Structure 1
């Protein structure tokens, strides 16, 4: 299969950066968003009026939408993606959705002889801009091979998690650890400030510790500055934590620490929905440390 044109369903902060890298790699890119815009700005690729048109114009399609509801809206109806797909196409779903939604998509497209991978990415906008995302993929080995040239231009490594749906489940583990760890850091910072540790000493010391990941050191830097540009917005992290809690409930797995993080991120979402999820540090600083 020769892939020349890649279509995006959803062309926001992450997808537009992936699209830019694919254009630089020589692919033609088209896209659809309900607004006809990209990340709040005019897109630098052709914006089509419907998911159906994207399917009809493309050899491969990348779905990058916020949640199950948005994905189903894009899939169904006379102008939906399913109406324009044809046998032999490739679909990569980079969205973070529920495991049930990933299984549903694999079944729907399998009936149409369309190759599909659940392919959520790990990383934020800095990694997307550099083409350095970690791509988690679930599906048949032959589909991974077919998709690898695309994956190699948007990510620095591809991890084949197993059959369809496996990558979606792995992504919930990854994001749960991110959110849970950030919550622990925010609680520790709140205690340190309330106990009288000098603010710059506290934040600077945490930047030096090996037990804190480079990702979370970046978040601590945002907390120190009190500035939270949206590399990974709170509304999406809170949504992902909710997906994880429901998935764990279905499996009978207790997640006490994750539950606390999910609740704190949900509270932070009320005032920081479009800020980076590290704004939880500011919330804890205000409320727990009385600052």
Structure 2
């Protein structure tokens, strides 16, 4: 199929069907939006096909049939491959098509993507999001968008169908920056919560008592209250936000801070413990599994940042 053939107006492509990408695809279908999906593993596409999505064989085949492509992938290497690699999106997306990169990436990477697309006729926004898989399915996400205002205006109705809050926060890379700042806070919160539980436990308090007290206190955020429940149930296997991804994001934060000369002692400490979690093979668990990392480190030397 040649690029641009049989492209239905308003048809949206979703590349990457993990927790967030799959949730957004389900939400679009529920809203009556025609959706084309692609995922490296075909198993995640099957439920969406049953719900009415068209499944493309490659990212290029998807891009040839849509006007807007939502990209939801784990890291920058995956984004690079899907956009620019063989059978990539940008080899088939028609001029005027828009890429919405919802993946968490470095601000410099987001700016570099925009520079590479300049003059190609394609447009891109860093459309970073906050929320979990259920938020994605329910249209309760929050979008922080970086890029050109005129492109943002074109896609704002689409994003509004996926989220309860959609904001243009600045130019290319600024959406990625704000997303990293918020993920930094979450990573530090998880570290602080786990430290409180483990210290309390070593001092003779029952972990459930510590978690209940924190969840009911004014010191707790909505995320912390939710993760108090995850830690209390030790429900780490079904990951809303994998420990490996939190490690990746805090690594991006640290790199940005180093480039700007900003010291981040709390982030450095949290990143070191997450590094230890990866060493112990816990990367696929929920980031709240930092609790088990700290439990295993009791009596051991602290890891270097």
TM-score of the two chains, using structure 2 as the length reference: 0.90
Query: Shift of the alpha carbon at 1:24?
Result: 1.3
1:75-154 equivalent positions in 2, closer than 5 A: 75-154=83-162
1:242-289 superposed Cα distances (whole Å, 9 cap, x missing partner): 111111111111111100001111222343211110011232234338
CA contact (8 A) 2:26 2:48 kept: no
1:201-240 equivalent positions in 2, closer than 5 A: 201-228=209-236, 229-240=238-249
2:15 maps to which of 5, 9, 22: 9
Root-mean-square deviation over aligned CA pairs: 1.7
Query: Shift of the alpha carbon at 1:211?
Result: 1.4
Query: Shift of the alpha carbon at 1:172?
Result: 0.8
CA contact (8 A) 1:223 1:282 kept: no
1:272 matched to 2:282: yes
1:11-90 equivalent positions in 2, closer than 5 A: 11-38=17-44, 42-44=47-49, 45-90=53-98
Task: Give the secondary-structure state (helix, strand or coil) at the position aligned to 2:64.
Answer: helix
Distance (whole Å) between structure 1 residues aligned to residue 272 and residue 86 of structure 2: 39
Runs of at least 5 residues in structure 2 that lack an aligned partner in the other structure: 1-7, 301-305
Distance (whole Å) between structure 1 residues aligned to residue 85 and residue 135 of structure 2: 34
Task: Give the secondary-structure state (helix, strand or coil) at the position aligned to 1:120.
Answer: strand
With 75-84 and 205-214 compared, the bigger mean Cα shift is at 75-84
1:245 maps to which of 245, 254, 274: 254
Query: Shift of the alpha carbon at 1:192?
Result: 0.6
1:43-63 superposed Cα distances (whole Å, 9 cap, x missing partner): 432221211111111111001
Distance (whole Å) between structure 2 residues aligned to residue 210 and residue 136 of structure 1: 27
Distance (whole Å) between structure 2 residues aligned to residue 148 and residue 77 of structure 1: 28
Distance (whole Å) between structure 1 residues aligned to residue 9 and residue 113 of structure 2: 21
Distance (whole Å) between structure 2 residues aligned to residue 26 and residue 180 of structure 1: 39
Query: Shift of the alpha carbon at 1:200?
Result: 2.2
TM-score of the two chains, using structure 1 as the length reference: 0.94
Runs of at least 5 residues in structure 1 that lack an aligned partner in the other structure: none
1:185 matched to 2:193: yes
Query: Shift of the alpha carbon at 1:110?
Result: 2.6
Query: Shift of the alpha carbon at 1:152?
Result: 0.9
Distance (whole Å) between structure 2 residues aligned to residue 13 and residue 3 of structure 1: 26
1:192-222 superposed Cα distances (whole Å, 9 cap, x missing partner): 1101112322111111012110111111111
Task: Give the secondary-structure state (helix, strand or coil) at the position aligned to 2:99.
Answer: strand
CA contact (8 A) 1:131 1:155 kept: yes
